[in-house]
Amino acid sequence: MRAARTVRGFTLLELMVATTILLLLAGAAMPVVSSTLSVARADATRAKVADLRRAAESYARDTLLLPSAILDLRADPGVAGWRGPYTSPQFDGSLDAPFGQDAYGNGILWTLSQGASIGTLRSPGEDRRRGTADDIVARVALRPIRRDVTLARIARIDAALAAYAAEKLPAEPLPTAWPAALAKLRALGLLDSDPTHERDAWGTPFQAAGGSPLLRVRSTSLAAQPTSEAPF
């Protein structure tokens, strides 16, 4: 006849040792988990701030101004050239001041400086205090956007001038004053009635570059701009 098996439970000492080991393992894992969460939140916040920066840049290319408030990215503020909304659907319903929230639950602020020529998006980061080293910041400068828009306008005009030169020169040189030359190019269908053919992105009228025959236009505003951007 087989002897009955004896069922032995854990002693109090064994339970205490096992619990201690589990606590030590959990304690060792906590910094790793905390660090991973911190990196994920920082990455998510940078991505959201970058999305808002791109939206502000698109607004500036269309209106040649920076938004006075971040709400202007979604709701038309009555500024000429606005073609929004510029924000993606993830921001709908969360547009306030401060605008939305970062991944830490902080508000993302938008401020203007230097005569509304620089816009700054700022998340206070993990420490929730603005102006400290872990702030997540993105800036939008209006001057290079206006410069790029002006160069694009000049490129379109110069292409029309080249087309005219190929067809009409040397027999029919254009007037050397740009408004008169523009009127003739429009009459021939080489340029349309778009007012951007008249002025640069600063609102300054284009001028003929050089003498006769007229082959290029120039922007006096571009000549007045620094050749490089000052650091933020």
Q: Are 73 and 87 in contact (CB under 8 A)?
A: yes
> Looking at the predicted structure, is the pLDDT value of residue 93 above 60?
no
Beta-bridge partner residues of 112: 119
- For residue 156, CA distances in Å to 104, 138, 223 come to 46, 32, 19
The string of pLDDT tens digits covering residues 128-177 is 888 899 999 999 999 999 999 999 999 999 999 999 999 999 999 999 99
Domain boundaries, the chain: 12-134, 146-224
Q: What integer pLDDT is reported at residue 232 of this predicted model?
A: 45
Cα separation of the two ends of the chain: 91
Predicted confidence band at 96 (pLDDT cuts at 50, 70, 90)? very low
Residue 14's pLDDT band (cuts 50, 70, 90): low
What CATH number is given for 12-134 in this structure? 3.30.700.10
